[in-house]
Amino acid sequence: MLDADSTIHMVSQMNPLDRVAVIVDSAASLPDWAMDDPLLHVVPMQLVIGGRTYLDGKEMSPTEFYRLQKGLSQAATTAAPTPQNYASAFEAAALSSSSILCLCVARRYSVAHDSALLAVRRAQQSLPDVKIAALDSGSAAGGEGLIALEALRAANRGLDLTEVVKAAREVADKVSLVAFLDTLYYVWKGGRVPRLAYASASLLGLKPMFELASGEVRAIGRPRTRARAMRRLVDAMRKRVGDRPVHVGVMHGDCPEEAQELRQVVELEFDCRGLFVSEFTPVMGAHTGPGLLGLAFWAQG
């Protein structure tokens, strides 16, 4: 569910070109083709490795990061975009759009939404003729990506900001993400689980499964093999969507062949109205490690 304090900054005049731009942070997993949409702007989060800061997705690709991650002695850390980062994105988007929807990774796990709200307030002076909405997606990765894609569809149909926000909210209330980790090692290194939990899962060869929905993460299983875990992902999605038409994002962390295999299963077993494969961005992979495989989805009707 979206935050009640999501802010829309209304203005007195419209720019000549009445378009809605969609801004997302780099925690969102999006298909390559979406990145070419002129209405989409991505604000990179920050990735800190060995004391050096990289702009997520710009200064290090997912492939480069996952290969580097395996040899790190200290866990990579991450930071949200600053208000100035968002302000710069607003200024760039305002060159060709009179309205902006800024969609942020779940507020429960990042201060990105707070940074965006502060940038919106500052924009009242710097961009007085631009409407800006800052929304907490309540999701991340492919879930946030699916919400952004629906907002882009609405924007490209020529809908106004209020209608684009409505489209994003509707998907945010429906979207779920299910995934499994290859190991708890990176979660443990990041201080998010006790050493005993990591050691037990490693000893038994478990593939911890989790679900992210409405900003909440919960464990949903611990299959012992990747093949079983992949099947459990599909079964979990079936349980939640039934036979309804679905929009699906297949996500992976440096395991593209398995992602394509999972995509084929999903395409065969579900009525997909949208289906894409994307790689977990480095800022997400820093917390999960390589080998993650997951599904983000929402059902029509």
Span 93-129, pLDDT tens digits: 999 999 999 999 999 889 999 999 999 999 999 999 9
Does 195 score more than 50 pLDDT?
Answer: no
Strands 99-104 and 246-252: unpaired
Residue 207 lies in a domain: yes
Q: Mean pLDDT, to the nearest integer, of 238-266?
A: 97
Range of the domain at 255: 176-299
Residue 178, token pair as written in the block: 């299910």
Are 21 and 91 part of one and the same domain?
yes
Amino acid at 268: L
Same domain, 234 and 251: yes
Domain containing residue 188: CATH number:
3.30.1180.10
User: Is the whole-model pTM more than 0.85?
Assistant: yes
In this structure, what token pair is assigned to residue 64?
């480069």
The domain tally of the chain equals 2
Select the more confidently predicted residue: 193 or 115: 115
- Say if residue 244's pLDDT is above 70: yes
User: 182 and 152 in one domain?
Assistant: no
126 three-state secondary structure: helix
Q: Is residue 197 part of a domain?
A: yes
In a domain, 60, yes or no: no
22 and 162 in a single domain? The answer is yes
Q: Are residues 161 and 180 in the same domain?
A: no
Residue 34 sits in a domain whose CATH number is 3.40.50.10440
- Same domain for 108 and 248, yes or no, is no
Q: Is 185 in the same domain as 100?
A: no
- Tens of pLDDT, residue by residue over 133-175, are 999 999 999 999 999 999 999 999 999 999 999 999 999 999 9
Q: 1 in a domain, yes or no?
A: no
Instruction: Tell me the CA end-to-end span of the chain in Å, nearest whole number.
Output: 18
Tokens standing for 127? 């961009």
Q: Tell me: do 149 and 279 sit in the same domain.
A: no
